[in-house]
Amino acid sequence: MRLIALAMIVTALVLLGADALTSLEKGGDITVRSLGLIWSIVNPGSLAAFKDWAQHHAPFLAQTIYSALAMPGWGLIGVVGVLIAFIFGRKHGTE
């Protein structure tokens, strides 16, 4: 689990760097890619299928899912990665 947490933190840093570079390229206009936008770049069909599934099979969670997809990609992935790293961090035994 620590390896997965590290991969998530590195991915969040890469996404943050990409947003920073895009902001610099646009002359200082702040650009932040949402998790939904990143997902649609990687695989737009699966994002549409997931939204359809959420709307029809979990309507009570649909608004929460849409809100999570609107969050900055680096923020959500990074926070979850850090939480996993803290939970599954090194255990110090009794000395």
Tens-place pLDDT, residues 33-85: 999 999 999 998 999 999 999 999 988 998 999 999 999 999 989 999 999 99
Question: What confidence category does residue 91 fall into, taking pLDDT thresholds of 50, 70 and 90?
Answer: confident
Query: Has residue 95 got a pLDDT over 60?
Result: no
Residue tagged 């936008």 (tokens): 37
Residue 83 confidence (pLDDT): 94
Q: List the Cα angle 60/45/52 in 5-degree steps.
A: 20
The whole-angstrom separation of Cα 73 and Cα 2 is: 20
Query: What is the end-to-end Cα distance of the chain in Å, rounded?
Result: 25
CA angle at 52 for the pair 47 and 57, rounded to the nearest 5°: 125
pTM higher than the cut 0.85: no
Q: How many helices (H) and strands (E) does the chain have?
A: 5, 0
